Amino acid sequence: MRLSVIDHPLVAHKLTALRDASTDSPTFRRLADELVTLLAYEATREVRVEPHPVTTPVAPTTGVRLTSPKPIVVPILRAGLGMLDGMVRLLPTAEVGFLGMIRDETTLQATTYANRLPDDLSGRQVYVLDPMLATGGTLVAAVEYLLERGAVDVTAICLLAAPEGIEVVRSAFDRHAHVTVVTAAVDERLDENGYIVPGLGDAGDRLYGVV
Protein backbone atom coordinates (compact mmCIF):
# COMPACT_ATOMS: atom_id res chain seq x y z
CA MET A 1 0.00 0.00 0.00
CA ARG A 2 1.17 3.49 -0.76
CA LEU A 3 0.28 6.52 1.35
CA SER A 4 0.29 10.07 0.06
CA VAL A 5 -0.28 12.91 2.53
CA ILE A 6 -0.82 16.09 0.58
CA ASP A 7 1.36 18.84 1.96
CA HIS A 8 -0.08 22.02 0.47
CA PRO A 9 -1.06 25.29 2.16
CA LEU A 10 -4.47 25.45 0.44
CA VAL A 11 -5.26 21.91 1.53
CA ALA A 12 -4.25 22.72 5.12
CA HIS A 13 -6.29 25.95 5.06
CA LYS A 14 -9.47 24.24 3.89
CA LEU A 15 -8.98 21.34 6.28
CA THR A 16 -8.64 23.74 9.22
CA ALA A 17 -11.96 25.36 8.32
CA LEU A 18 -13.56 21.90 8.02
CA ARG A 19 -12.32 20.96 11.47
CA ASP A 20 -13.85 24.07 13.06
CA ALA A 21 -16.90 23.01 15.08
CA SER A 22 -18.59 26.33 14.21
CA THR A 23 -18.50 25.66 10.42
CA ASP A 24 -22.10 25.12 9.31
CA SER A 25 -23.25 22.33 6.95
CA PRO A 26 -23.47 24.39 3.74
CA THR A 27 -19.95 25.74 4.29
CA PHE A 28 -18.72 22.28 5.29
CA ARG A 29 -20.12 20.80 2.05
CA ARG A 30 -18.47 23.50 -0.07
CA LEU A 31 -15.11 23.10 1.66
CA ALA A 32 -15.22 19.30 1.40
CA ASP A 33 -16.00 19.62 -2.29
CA GLU A 34 -13.06 21.99 -2.87
CA LEU A 35 -10.71 19.86 -0.80
CA VAL A 36 -11.56 16.71 -2.75
CA THR A 37 -10.73 18.41 -6.02
CA LEU A 38 -7.32 19.33 -4.65
CA LEU A 39 -6.72 15.78 -3.37
CA ALA A 40 -8.05 14.30 -6.61
CA TYR A 41 -5.41 16.20 -8.57
CA GLU A 42 -2.75 14.17 -6.76
CA ALA A 43 -4.79 10.97 -6.59
CA THR A 44 -5.18 10.85 -10.37
CA ARG A 45 -1.48 11.27 -11.05
CA GLU A 46 -1.39 7.76 -12.55
CA VAL A 47 -4.74 7.71 -14.27
CA ARG A 48 -4.28 5.90 -17.57
CA VAL A 49 -4.13 8.00 -20.72
CA GLU A 50 -3.29 7.29 -24.33
CA PRO A 51 -1.91 9.47 -27.14
CA HIS A 52 -4.59 11.45 -28.93
CA PRO A 53 -4.15 13.64 -32.02
CA VAL A 54 -5.48 17.18 -31.81
CA THR A 55 -5.42 20.12 -34.19
CA THR A 56 -4.91 23.50 -32.54
CA PRO A 57 -5.71 26.77 -34.39
CA VAL A 58 -2.02 26.77 -35.28
CA ALA A 59 -0.93 23.17 -35.99
CA PRO A 60 -1.71 19.51 -35.48
CA THR A 61 -0.08 17.88 -32.48
CA THR A 62 -0.48 14.88 -30.23
CA GLY A 63 -1.96 15.16 -26.76
CA VAL A 64 -3.53 12.53 -24.52
CA ARG A 65 -6.99 11.36 -23.48
CA LEU A 66 -8.27 9.00 -20.81
CA THR A 67 -8.16 5.38 -21.98
CA SER A 68 -11.02 2.90 -21.98
CA PRO A 69 -12.22 1.34 -19.77
CA LYS A 70 -12.79 4.62 -18.00
CA PRO A 71 -11.98 5.03 -14.33
CA ILE A 72 -14.76 4.36 -11.90
CA VAL A 73 -15.47 6.52 -8.84
CA VAL A 74 -17.03 4.81 -5.83
CA PRO A 75 -18.29 6.95 -2.96
CA ILE A 76 -18.92 5.02 0.26
CA LEU A 77 -22.39 5.97 1.44
CA ARG A 78 -23.30 8.15 3.10
CA ALA A 79 -20.44 10.53 3.86
CA GLY A 80 -18.55 9.71 0.65
CA LEU A 81 -21.39 11.31 -1.32
CA GLY A 82 -20.18 14.68 -0.09
CA MET A 83 -16.98 14.06 -2.04
CA LEU A 84 -18.53 12.98 -5.34
CA ASP A 85 -19.06 16.32 -7.09
CA GLY A 86 -15.54 17.47 -6.28
CA MET A 87 -14.15 14.27 -7.79
CA VAL A 88 -16.21 14.09 -10.97
CA ARG A 89 -15.47 17.75 -11.66
CA LEU A 90 -11.93 16.58 -12.32
CA LEU A 91 -12.93 13.29 -14.00
CA PRO A 92 -16.22 14.13 -15.74
CA THR A 93 -16.17 11.04 -17.95
CA ALA A 94 -15.65 8.58 -15.08
CA GLU A 95 -18.40 6.12 -14.26
CA VAL A 96 -19.84 6.22 -10.76
CA GLY A 97 -20.71 3.21 -8.60
CA PHE A 98 -21.93 3.15 -5.01
CA LEU A 99 -21.10 1.10 -1.94
CA GLY A 100 -23.18 1.46 1.18
CA MET A 101 -21.22 0.50 4.26
CA ILE A 102 -22.04 1.06 7.87
CA ARG A 103 -19.99 0.40 10.96
CA ASP A 104 -21.47 -1.06 14.10
CA GLU A 105 -20.81 1.59 16.76
CA THR A 106 -20.10 -1.11 19.37
CA THR A 107 -17.91 -3.54 17.47
CA LEU A 108 -16.69 -0.93 14.92
CA GLN A 109 -17.06 -3.70 12.25
CA ALA A 110 -18.12 -2.62 8.75
CA THR A 111 -20.92 -4.33 6.83
CA THR A 112 -22.20 -3.71 3.29
CA TYR A 113 -25.87 -2.69 3.04
CA ALA A 114 -25.97 -1.47 -0.58
CA ASN A 115 -23.99 -2.10 -3.73
CA ARG A 116 -24.44 -0.54 -7.14
CA LEU A 117 -21.33 -1.57 -9.03
CA PRO A 118 -20.53 -3.60 -12.14
CA ASP A 119 -19.86 -7.27 -11.18
CA ASP A 120 -16.82 -7.24 -13.40
CA LEU A 121 -14.25 -4.56 -12.67
CA SER A 122 -11.49 -6.26 -14.69
CA GLY A 123 -8.84 -3.80 -15.70
CA ARG A 124 -10.55 -0.85 -14.01
CA GLN A 125 -8.87 1.92 -12.07
CA VAL A 126 -11.10 2.70 -9.10
CA TYR A 127 -11.23 5.80 -6.90
CA VAL A 128 -12.90 5.21 -3.56
CA LEU A 129 -14.26 8.24 -1.71
CA ASP A 130 -14.40 7.89 2.06
CA PRO A 131 -13.83 11.06 4.09
CA MET A 132 -12.60 9.48 7.33
CA LEU A 133 -10.06 6.66 7.48
CA ALA A 134 -10.63 5.83 11.16
CA THR A 135 -10.41 2.13 12.21
CA GLY A 136 -9.78 1.12 8.58
CA GLY A 137 -12.49 -1.59 8.70
CA THR A 138 -14.75 0.05 6.12
CA LEU A 139 -11.96 0.83 3.72
CA VAL A 140 -10.42 -2.65 3.91
CA ALA A 141 -13.83 -4.24 3.25
CA ALA A 142 -14.46 -1.89 0.32
CA VAL A 143 -11.05 -2.36 -1.28
CA GLU A 144 -11.22 -6.18 -0.89
CA TYR A 145 -14.61 -6.12 -2.56
CA LEU A 146 -13.26 -4.11 -5.51
CA LEU A 147 -10.09 -6.19 -5.94
CA GLU A 148 -12.13 -9.43 -5.83
CA ARG A 149 -14.12 -8.11 -8.77
CA GLY A 150 -10.98 -7.51 -10.79
CA ALA A 151 -10.06 -3.87 -10.19
CA VAL A 152 -6.40 -3.41 -11.08
CA ASP A 153 -5.69 -0.48 -8.87
CA VAL A 154 -7.64 1.19 -6.14
CA THR A 155 -6.96 4.67 -4.81
CA ALA A 156 -8.81 5.78 -1.69
CA ILE A 157 -9.26 9.50 -1.21
CA CYS A 158 -9.81 10.41 2.44
CA LEU A 159 -10.06 13.88 3.90
CA LEU A 160 -8.46 12.69 7.14
CA ALA A 161 -6.79 9.54 8.42
CA ALA A 162 -5.86 8.08 11.80
CA PRO A 163 -2.55 6.23 12.25
CA GLU A 164 -4.46 3.16 13.49
CA GLY A 165 -6.55 3.00 10.31
CA ILE A 166 -3.53 3.43 8.08
CA GLU A 167 -1.84 0.49 9.79
CA VAL A 168 -4.92 -1.69 9.32
CA VAL A 169 -5.07 -0.87 5.61
CA ARG A 170 -1.31 -1.25 5.27
CA SER A 171 -1.30 -4.72 6.83
CA ALA A 172 -4.32 -5.83 4.75
CA PHE A 173 -2.66 -4.76 1.50
CA ASP A 174 0.94 -5.10 2.52
CA ARG A 175 2.13 -6.55 -0.76
CA HIS A 176 -0.37 -4.83 -2.97
CA ALA A 177 1.51 -2.11 -4.81
CA HIS A 178 -1.69 -0.92 -6.46
CA VAL A 179 -3.59 0.18 -3.38
CA THR A 180 -3.03 3.83 -2.52
CA VAL A 181 -4.43 6.12 0.16
CA VAL A 182 -4.39 9.85 -0.50
CA THR A 183 -5.28 12.11 2.42
CA ALA A 184 -5.00 15.71 3.54
CA ALA A 185 -3.60 14.81 6.99
CA VAL A 186 -2.82 12.01 9.40
CA ASP A 187 -4.13 12.95 12.85
CA GLU A 188 -3.01 11.88 16.33
CA ARG A 189 -5.15 8.86 17.20
CA LEU A 190 -8.62 7.35 17.57
CA ASP A 191 -10.66 7.89 20.71
CA GLU A 192 -12.56 5.12 22.53
CA ASN A 193 -15.56 5.61 20.22
CA GLY A 194 -13.52 5.28 17.06
CA TYR A 195 -13.49 9.01 16.29
CA ILE A 196 -10.39 10.63 14.88
CA VAL A 197 -8.67 13.04 17.32
CA PRO A 198 -8.61 15.98 16.77
CA GLY A 199 -10.48 15.09 13.56
CA LEU A 200 -13.58 16.98 12.51
CA GLY A 201 -16.36 14.99 14.18
CA ASP A 202 -18.83 12.81 12.32
CA ALA A 203 -18.32 13.66 8.65
CA GLY A 204 -21.79 12.40 7.62
CA ASP A 205 -23.52 14.44 10.31
CA ARG A 206 -21.54 17.54 9.48
CA LEU A 207 -22.35 17.18 5.78
CA TYR A 208 -26.00 16.22 6.03
CA GLY A 209 -27.12 16.69 9.64
CA VAL A 210 -27.87 14.07 12.29
CA VAL A 211 -30.40 11.48 11.01
Please give the positions annotated as active site.
Answer: 103, 107, 202, 205
Nearest Cα residue to 128 out of 91, 170, 168, 83: 83
Size of the chain, expressed as the number of residues it contains: 211
Cβ-based nearer residue to ligand URA, 15 or 66: 15
Which residues 6+ apart lie within 8 Å of 87 measured at CB? 36, 37, 40, 73, 75, 94, 127, 129, 157
Cβ-based nearer residue to ligand URA, 140 or 203: 203
**Other Cβ atoms closer than 10 A to 17:** 16
Phi and psi at 122, nearest 5°, equal -55, 130
Q: Minimum distance from CB of 202 to ligand URA (Å)?
A: 4
Q: Minimum distance from CB of 92 to ligand URA (Å)?
A: 28
Q: Minimum distance from CB of 16 to ligand URA (Å)?
A: 16
Cβ-based nearer residue to ligand URA, 105 or 148: 105
Q: Minimum distance from CB of 159 to ligand URA (Å)?
A: 9
First to last CA, the chain: 34
Cβ-based nearer residue to ligand URA, 139 or 154: 139
Residues that bind ligand URA (CB under 6 A): 79, 132, 134, 194-196, 199, 202-204
Nearest Cα residue to 164 out of 129, 203, 143, 193: 193
Q: What does the alpha-carbon distance between residue 177 and residue 154 come to, in Å, rounded to a whole number?
A: 10
